[in-house]
């Protein structure tokens, strides 16, 4: 297994650790540690692609597992945020549904001997999703770092309006990129 693929596998393990830590509220620094794990996982997402391209380590394993682990990571963080009552479930259902549809389309293409590469808009979508997740994780971690923060007058509007604005951007971009990708490759769906 090459280094790019090892980074992908490491991201999967980091995601599992992130979920375990974030769901351990009895530990006083769970949100802060979960945020750190998510940030490290996000860095491995960048690094595995960079290492694969720069050192010629592209592989079938990487082409399959890298986007799959990305989807697992993002689904995990958003599901955890629903459980913590930070974001509405319907938003997460819409985001995860888009990911399943695009993965299904790619599997359909692969069955027909075609490879559907990721597009720039999809990469922007992932970036917005990560920024949104980091924002909400930072909001969870901030009171652990500065316990008096919950009482600050500016904290509630930042939490409410900032989070809703980021979530709306991530959702719109997720749906727009998904519909665009499906439309662009509709011939695969229409073919019998």
Once rounded to an integer, what is the mean pLDDT over residues 96-121? 87
Share of the chain above pLDDT 70, in %: 95
Domains of the chain, with CATH numbers? 3-190 (1.20.120)
- Concatenated DSSP letters of 32-96: HHHHHHHHHHHHHHHHHHHHHHHTT---HHHHHHHHHHHHHHHHHHHHHHHHTTSS-HHHHHHHH
Half-sphere exposure of 76 (CA within 13 A, CB side): 24
- pLDDT-derived band at 15, boundaries 50, 70, 90: very high
Read off the DSSP letter of residue 151.
G
- Whether 118 has a pLDDT exceeding 80, the answer reads no
What pLDDT does residue 23 have?
Answer: 92
What pLDDT does residue 142 have?
Answer: 87
What pLDDT does residue 161 have?
Answer: 85
- Whether 88 has a pLDDT exceeding 90, the answer reads yes
Contacts of 179 (CB under 8 A, 6+ apart): none
- Whether 148 has a pLDDT exceeding 80, the answer reads no
- Whether 33 has a pLDDT exceeding 90, the answer reads yes
What pLDDT does residue 34 have?
Answer: 97
Share of the chain above pLDDT 90, in %: 55
């Amino acid at each position: 297994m090459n280094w790019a693929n090892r980074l992908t596998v490491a991201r999967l393990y980091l995601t599992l650790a992130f979920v375990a830590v974030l769901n351990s509220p009895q530990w006083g620094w769970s949100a802060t540690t979960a945020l750190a794990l998510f940030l490290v996982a996000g860095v491995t997402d960048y690094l595995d692609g960079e290492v694969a391209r720069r050192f010629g380590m592209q592989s079938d394993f990487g082409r399959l597992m890298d986007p799959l682990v990305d989807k697992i990571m993002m689904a995990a963080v958003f599901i955890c945020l629903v459980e913590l009552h930070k974001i509405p479930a319907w938003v997460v259902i819409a985001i995860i549904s888009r990911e399943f549809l695009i993965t299904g389309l790619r599997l359909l293409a692969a069955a027909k001997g075609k490879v559907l590469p990721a597009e720039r808009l999809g990469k922007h979508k992932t970036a917005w999703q990560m920024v949104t997740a980091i924002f909400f994780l930072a909001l969870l971690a901030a009171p652990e770092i500065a316990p008096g923060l919950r009482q600050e007058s500016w904290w509630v509007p930042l939490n409410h309006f900032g989070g809703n604005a980021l979530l709306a951007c991530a959702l719109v971009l997720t749906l727009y990129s998904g519909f665009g990708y499906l439309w662009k490759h509709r011939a695969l769906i229409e073919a019998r």
